[in-house]
């Protein structure tokens, strides 16, 4: 992998990731094209963090995001390569994978960081359309950014994710994801850390390892398994179709994956994504989904945060859709949104059976 860092006209970092050519040849280093846009005037965009003391959860306020780009036409997509006629966020005429600081961050300014990851220059592709080699390059980019962002002062977790589909809430159609370097521990991670510490204290065992052993022994919720990875529907899945993909070997984050685990990931992940698109029939529109890497916390815990060692955490990718049937969405209505209590329409065992069918093709 070759990594080339440059700056946009407003000072934001832009990084290109290029795959090494096959064989002994060495590719010429990328000489990045400068951003031809004039430097914009300074902005006063700020993020405010407040704590809900009843729930014990942090809420971020980013009012400047009200003006962010919303579903532009393809010829005005800010993530497509530059042309003679225009240049948006990426000055290059072509690229493989590009990562840059979000122009409309949910937080930043020394308190975390938000980045966009463009998986391909092709506006019409989806992640599931990528060849395995490109998926491997995206994995390299996620890993590199995890390492870099984990070292930033005040960062507590690096969260790489992709939202696909207007039903999920995407504002740009170009195939891309995001990386949030949270300056606080997100609520779900905080609850997970507390559960890991509690289970270790009560049993002397690691909770993710115990859960994986239970899934493998039961077998009904296993979707796919390889030498190094296991994909399964959780025993208490919240979403109609939800898969957790994790290495058999417990590792805290992407930087700890070994070469064999990294080599095996692309084909299996593509199987899952392509299976998701077949869930509701071959002629159904693309399935909206969220795919996200849950990684171990980094940095120093804040007062009152639960504490456990990073080696207790198990890296996992969570893939889920809120579509519960053809033309039907799982809305977060009164119970889910108001009380935080999920009521699911699909049994995990039935979801796993359907997912095995569509990922086996």
Give the residue-averaged pLDDT of 172-178: 96
Token readout for 294 is 């849950």
Q: What is the pLDDT of residues 48-99, one digit of tens each?
A: 999 999 999 999 999 989 888 889 999 899 999 999 888 899 999 999 999 9
Burial category of 250 from C-beta neighbours within 10 Å (exposed 0-12, middle 13-18, buried 19 and up): middle
The CATH code belonging to domain 1-23+57-361 is: 3.30.428.10
Summary mean pLDDT of the chain:
94
CA distances from 339 to 44, 252, 345, 347 (A): 36, 31, 17, 21
CA distances from 138 to 97, 127, 269 (A): 7, 10, 12
**The pLDDT of residue 148 is above 70:** yes
Strands 13-18 and 97-101: antiparallel
Query: 222-226, 282-286, 327-331: which has the highest mean pLDDT?
Result: 222-226
**The pLDDT of residue 44 is above 70:** no
CA distances from 2 to 5, 233, 315, 319 (A): 10, 36, 25, 28
Query: What is residue 29's predicted lDDT score, i.e. its pLDDT?
Result: 84
Torsion of CA 322, 323, 324, 329, to 10 degrees: 90
CA distances from 180 to 113, 161, 296, 325 (A): 6, 8, 14, 31
Unique residue bearing structure tokens 């096959």 = 22
d(CA 51, CA 318): 26
d(CA 185, CA 188): 8
Query: What is residue 110's predicted lDDT score, i.e. its pLDDT?
Result: 83
Q: Does the CA dihedral 168-169-175-176 come out positive or negative? A: negative
CA distances from 314 to 63, 196, 209, 220, 310 (A): 34, 10, 8, 22, 9
Say whether 174 counts as a known binding-site residue. yes
d(CA 116, CA 73): 19
Say whether 199 counts as a known binding-site residue. no
d(CA 74, CA 320): 27
pLDDT category at 46 given cuts 50, 70, 90 is confident
Contacts 24+ apart (CB under 8 A), 128-132: 128/270, 128/273, 128/274, 128/276, 128/277, 130/270, 132/266, 132/267, 132/270
Q: What is the pTM of this model?
A: 0.96
Q: What is the pLDDT of residues 248-280, one digit of tens each?
A: 999 999 999 999 999 999 999 999 999 999 999
C-alpha Rg value of the chain to the nearest Å? 21
Known catalytic residues are 176
User: Count H helices, E strands: the chain?
Assistant: 5, 15
Fill in the DSSP letter of residue 161: E
């Amino acid at each position: 992998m070759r990594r080339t860092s440059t700056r946009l006209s407003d000072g934001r970092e832009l990084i290109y990731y290029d795959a090494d050519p096959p064989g002994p040849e060495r590719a010429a280093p990328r000489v990045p094209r400068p951003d031809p846009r004039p430097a914009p005037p300074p902005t006063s965009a700020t993020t405010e963090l407040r704590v809900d003391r009843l729930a014990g959860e942090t809420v971020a306020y980013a009012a400047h995001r009200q003006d962010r780009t919303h579903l532009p036409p393809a010829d005005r997509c800010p993530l497509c390569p530059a042309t003679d006629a225009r240049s948006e966020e990426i000055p290059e005429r072509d690229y493989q994978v590009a990562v840059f600081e979000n122009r409309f961050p949910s937080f930043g300014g020394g308190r975390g960081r938000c980045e966009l990851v463009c998986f391909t220059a092709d506006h019409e592709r989806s992640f599931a359309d990528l060849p395995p080699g490109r998926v491997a390059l995206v994995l390299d980019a996620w890993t590199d950014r995890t390492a870099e962002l984990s070292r930033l002062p005040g960062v507590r977790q690096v969260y790489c994710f992709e939202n696909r589909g207007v039903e999920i809430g995407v504002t740009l159609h170009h195939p891309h994801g995001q990386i949030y370097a949270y300056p606080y521990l997100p609520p779900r991670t905080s609850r997970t850390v507390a559960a890991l510490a509690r289970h270790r204290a009560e049993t002397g065992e690691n909770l993710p390892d115990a859960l994986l052993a239970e899934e493998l022994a039961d077998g009904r919720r296993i979707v796919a398994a390889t030498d190094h990875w296991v994909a399964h529907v959780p025993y208490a899945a919240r979403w109609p179709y939800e898969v957790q993909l994790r290495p058999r070997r417990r590792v805290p984050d992407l930087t700890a994956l070994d070469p064999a685990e990294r080599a095996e990931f692309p084909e299996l992940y593509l199987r899952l994504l392509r299976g998701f698109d077949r869930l509701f029939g071959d002629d159904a529109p693309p399935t909206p989904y969220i795919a996200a890497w849950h990684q171990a916390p980094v940095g120093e815990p804040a007062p009152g945060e639960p504490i456990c060692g990073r080696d207790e955490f198990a890296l996992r990718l969570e893939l889920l859709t809120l579509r519960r049937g053809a033309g039907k969405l799982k809305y977060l209505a009164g119970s889910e949104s108001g009380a935080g209590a999920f009521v699911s329409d699909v049994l995990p065992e039935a979801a796993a059976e359907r997912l095995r069918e569509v990922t086996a093709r």
